[in-house]
Amino acid sequence: MKIVVCIEQVPDTETRVRVGASGSAISEADVQSWIVSPYDEFAIEEALRIKEAKAGEVVLVTAGPERAQAALRTGLAMGADSALHVKDAALDATDTLGTARALAAAIRTLGPVDLVLCGQQGVGGDHSQIPGMLAELLDLPQVTVAVKIEIGEGEATVEREIEGARETWTTPLPALISAQKGLNEPRYANLKGIMAAKKKPFQVLDAAALGLDGAALAPKLRVLHLEMPPPRPPVRMIEGDPVTQAKELVRLLHEDTKVI
C-alpha cells in the first residue's frame, strides 16, 4: 500500500523563541536547531510499521523553505522510501489553507494513495487545522488524534482520544488519520539509514508545477501581532510553623488571588 506522510519542520522544542523585528513572527535567527514536528514523527513511525506489516511504500511530503529538506532527510533516514518538497516563495507568507492546498496538490501528483498520515498538530503553530483542511481538499474521510491504528482489508480501525476516554472508529480506505502522542515510540535514524537516505528519490516542485497560482496561496488570515507571555511573578515564601503557613496560605488564596 502507498502511504503519504505530511510533515512540518519546526524549531527545536528546547528553543527559547523571541519575537522578530516585524512583531508578527518569531526571530528565526535565534533558532539554533530545526526538527521534524514531534507529532509528525509519530505519523512517520506508524507509516513505517504499517509498511513493515503490509508491504508498500512511504512517501514524505512537506511544504516550506529550503531548510525544510532537512526534515525530509530525517524521515528518509528513519526508513521512508521517497520525499516530495513543495518549495515556493509564495508559501513563505501563506496561511494554513494555502499550505493545505500545496500539500493536497503535491499528493495528487503521486497517483492513487491508500493512506495519508499527519501529526495532529505542528508544534510551531499548534493550530491543528492542516489535517482537516487536507482531508476536505482530497475528499477523504478523516479520523483525528489517533492513539492506535489497525489496518484491515480496505479499512482502518482507529482509537482516538476524547476528553476522559477513548472512542473507536472504522473508516474505509483511502483515508486521512492524524497522530496523537502515545500512538507509538518513534525510532531513531541509524548510520545505515542516514547514508541510504542520500540515495533515495527526492523531488522538488514549485507552485506552478502543481497548477497553483498566487490566488490559491494568498493568505486569508494575517497575524497582526505576537508578544511573549508576561514574566511569572516570583515565588512567595510563607514563613512560620505548619499551622501558621496553612492559615496564611488560605488567607492569600481568599484575599489576594480570590480563588476561594
The band of 5, judged by pLDDT with boundaries at 50, 70 and 90, is: very high
DSSP of 25-50: SB-GGG---EEE-HHHHHHHHHHHHH
Q: Is the pLDDT of residue 124 over 80?
A: no
In this structure, are strands 57-63 and 2-6 parallel, antiparallel, or unpaired? parallel
Give the pLDDT of residue 182: 93
Helix 38-54 with 69-78: angle, nearest 10 deg: 40
Residue linked to cell 541509524: 190
Give the pLDDT of residue 221: 86
Residue 152 DSSP SS3:
coil
Which CATH architecture group holds 2-217?
A: 3-Layer(aba) Sandwich (3.40)
**Global pTM value:** 0.86
Least confident of 51-55, 97-101, 105-109, 248-252: 248-252
Give the pLDDT of residue 21: 84
Euclidean distance between CA atoms 61 and 5, whole angstroms? 6
Q: Is the pLDDT of residue 242 over 90?
A: yes
In this structure, are strands 165-172 and 155-162 parallel, antiparallel, or unpaired? antiparallel
Cα–Cα distances in Å, from 145 out to 13, 65, 114, 120, 218? 20, 27, 19, 6, 29
The band of 146, judged by pLDDT with boundaries at 50, 70 and 90, is: very high
Domain edges within the chain: 2-217, 234-260
DSSP bridge partners of 146: 160, 179
**Quick one: 121 exposed, middle or buried, by C-beta within 10 A (0-12, 13-18, 19+)?**
buried
Q: Which residues contact 116 (CB under 8 A, 6 or more apart)?
A: 3, 4, 5, 6, 107, 134, 135, 138, 140, 174, 175, 176, 177
Are the CB atoms for 211 and 96 separated by under 8 Å? no
Question: What average pLDDT does range 90-95 have in this prediction?
Answer: 90
Least confident of 15-19, 113-117, 119-123: 15-19
